[in-house]
Structure formats: structure tokens, C-alpha cells
């Protein structure tokens, strides 16, 4: 059976910055993932792991050092001074900060109209009202300025502006991190409903794996520029195969009434301009041994509680690749799944 081509494909993407002293900083290191129609893919990791750089590269806001990004089979090129090609305008980005992503000097209706005209559509009052209705905002919002709304309302308006282009894929770069818990829940619910109603594909970037679990079907865990684990969200949550993924799950609060605090991960993300040898996570890993300091683990395909003999990276673009592959980059992926009270809780937690 032939697997349909993904709407968005990132293949061995690398993004490198230069510090003022000329030192190269590899923010993204050979990252690959797909986003299909009607699918939410979570991209999760600590601040500084490169997830926002990868999201910006996906829409052409960062120039690739290596690798490729394609949307509907067409290369996504870096944005310059000229308008984006019409074929790429259905790939949209939702920015993190709703306080700065909307123009404070222009009314909401005018900003929605900009998006409609940029996509070649007439900016009629009826169409603007339709966009506002999609994001659960009243039609009267068109006549107001962004500062007249709360943070959650502004983010909904920003989503409406992105929807003006009738996107097939939306890159949501930490869309709830600047909001309170109530507004976060509203935006996550809204994005899920939009996915159900429109069939849009979403790359949902977040530092909170617990939030990602509420909306995503698939998750990619990123550490120091690399995707260290990827798979269906339920499979990764039930049986994390990388110690970093385990740490992120342990850091997610549980509303179980037991009063236990989330577990913190010791240490900080290393300097990406001088990454550790071998496995990048070994300085913080409780399982690390001498081999971890010398060997950069290959991506291994997980099959239930076992790792298949083949290496997932060798057939990444092959026709036999399944969308729900569970892949991890860890020398300890073969170890038995942990059995702790917290693992039981996370199985039962919604």
C-alpha cells in the first residue's frame, strides 16, 4: 500500500548561526519530520533546543545550512524581499507572542483583510466575519485595536489572520507559552477543533509535553538540535525510549490529588557551539556510561518492547516507512520499560 506524500516534509534539516566572534552555532542538526493533512505533530523540548529555529526554517524564515523542506512537493525557499510564491502561501506561521505579532496601530479587520488580499481573495466584510467566527470572536472585533483584547483573544485573532490564507499547514510556534492556563486550554481546544473542521495539518511547538499530549497525534522530542525520539503520542507517552523523553514526562504535572511535585531535570542544555561528544544528552543522563561519551546513537525503530535490526535513518524516505514509526536515538532503547508509580499514573492520566 502506497503511503500518501506528506503536505510538509523536513529532511535532514540543519540551521547554523554565526556568533559575533565568528563561532558557528548549530541550532538544528539533521532533523527530519513530516506533517500530514489533518494531523497535529508536536515538537517538544526545553528552551534552547532548536525547536523554534526548526519551525522558522519550515516556513522559510531561516535559511537552511543543509537539508531540504518541501510543501506539497515544492521546495520551500528562504523568504527575501519579494512576495512568497503563491503555491507556498498555504503554509502559514502562528507566532509565539500575540502582543507583538499583531500591529497595534491597525484595526483587527484591516489586518485580517491583509491576509485575504495576500492570498488573492476579496476582503469582504462577510469573509472577515467568517474568519472571526472560526476563532470564536464576535464580528464587532473587526472595528477594534489589538490592545483592547486579552492575550488569549489576541492569539485567537492571530490564528484568524493565519487562516485568511486558507492554509493547509500551520506552524504554531509556542502559541500558548505567553498565556495563562485558562487561555492555554482555550487555544489548544480551538486548534484541535480547526484541525477537525478544516483538515489542516499543524506542527505544534511547545516546551510542555503535557500540553502536546492534549492535541497531537504524533510527537517529536528535540534535544540540542536533534530529534532524539519520534512516534505516535500514545506510544511515546506509554513507553518513552529516550531518557530525555522520560524526564519531560516526569516534569509534566499530574492532576491526581496526590500533591506530588513534577520531577526536575538536573543541569542545563549544553552550548550548541560546543556540543558534547557522543550522545549529546550524556552529561545529564542518569544511564550514561563510557560508550555514551564516544558513540552518537543511530536512530533505532522501536517495535513494541523491541528495537528492529534495521536503522530507521537509512530508509527515512522509503515507500515502506510507516507514519506511526516509533524511533529513538539512544543506546539504552533496548532496556525494559520502567515500572514505577508515576508510569502507572501517566497511563491513567487524561
pLDDT tens by residue, 74-119: 999 888 888 888 889 999 999 988 888 899 999 999 999 998 998 8
Q: What is the pTM of this model?
A: 0.87
Local confidence band at 347 (pLDDT 50, 70, 90 cut-offs): very low
Instruction: Please give the mean pLDDT across all residues of the chain.
Output: 85
All structural domains of the chain with their residue ranges: 8-90+167-255
Q: How far lies 222's CA from each of 84, 116, 191, 268, in Å?
A: 29, 34, 22, 14
Q: Which CATH number fits domain 8-90+167-255: 3.40.50.300, 2.40.37.10, 3.40.50.720, 2.60.40.1730?
A: 3.40.50.300
- Phi, psi dihedral angles at 154 (to 5 degrees): -65, -40
DSSP 270: P
Q: Are strands 24-35 and 8-18 parallel, antiparallel or unpaired?
A: antiparallel
Amino acid at each position: 500500500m502506497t503511503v500518501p506524500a506528506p503536505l510538509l516534509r523536513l529532511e535532514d534539516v540543519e540551521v547554523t548561526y554565526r556568533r559575533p566572534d565568528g563561532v558557528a552555532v548549530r541550532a538544528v542538526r539533521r532533523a527530519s519530520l513530516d506533517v500530514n493533512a489533518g494531523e497535529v505533530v508536536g515538537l517538544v523540548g526545553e528552551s534552547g533546543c532548536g525547536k523554534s529555529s526548526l519551525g522558522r526554517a519550515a516556513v522559510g524564515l531561516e535559511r537552511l545550512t543543509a537539508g531540504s523542506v518541501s510543501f506539497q512537493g515544492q521546495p520551500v525557499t528562504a523568504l527575501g524581499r519579494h512576495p512568497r510564491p503563491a503555491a507556498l502561501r498555504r503554509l502559514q506561521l502562528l507566532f509565539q507572542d500575540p502582543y507583538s505579532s499583531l500591529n497595534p496601530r491597525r484595526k483587527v479587520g484591516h489586518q485580517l483583510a491583509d491576509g485575504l488580499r495576500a492570498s488573492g481573495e476579496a476582503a469582504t466584510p462577510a469573509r472577515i466575519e467568517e474568519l472571526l467566527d472560526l476563532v470564536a470572536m464576535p464580528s464587532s472585533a473587526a472595528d477594534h485595536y489589538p490592545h483592547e483584547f486579552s492575550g488569549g483573544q489576541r492569539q485567537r485573532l492571530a490564528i484568524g489572520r493565519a487562516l485568511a490564507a486558507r492554509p493547509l499547514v500551520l506552524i504554531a510556534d509556542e502559541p500558548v507559552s505567553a498565556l495563562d492556563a485558562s487561555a492555554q486550554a482555550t487555544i489548544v481546544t480551538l486548534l484541535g477543533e480547526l484541525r477537525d473542521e478544516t483538515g489542516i495539518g499543524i506542527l505544534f511547538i511547545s516546551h510542555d509535553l503535557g500540553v502536546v499530549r492534549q492535541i497531537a497525534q504524533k510527537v517529536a522530542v528535540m534535544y540540542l538540535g536533534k530529534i532524539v525520539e519520534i512516534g505516535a503520542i500514545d506510544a511515546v507517552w506509554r513507553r518513552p525510549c529516550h531518557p530525555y523523553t522520560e524526564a519531560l514526562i516526569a516534569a509534566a504535572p499530574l492532576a491526581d490529588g496526590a500533591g506530588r511535585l513534577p520531577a526536575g531535570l538536573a543541569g542545563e542544555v549544553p552550548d550548541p557551539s560546543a556540543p558534547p561528544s557522543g550522545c549529546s544528552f550524556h552529561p545529564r543522563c542518569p544511564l550514561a556510561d563510557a560508550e555514551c561519551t564516544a558513540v552518537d546513537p543511530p536512530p533505532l525503530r522501536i517495535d513494541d518492547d523491541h528495537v528492529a535490526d534495521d536503522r530507521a535513518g537509512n530508509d527515512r524516505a522509503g515507500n515502506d516507512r510507516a507514519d506511526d514509526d516509533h524511533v529513538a536515538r539512544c543506546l539504552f532503547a533496548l532496556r525494559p520499560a520502567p515500572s514505577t508509580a508515576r508510569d502507572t499514573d501517566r497511563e491513567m492520566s487524561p
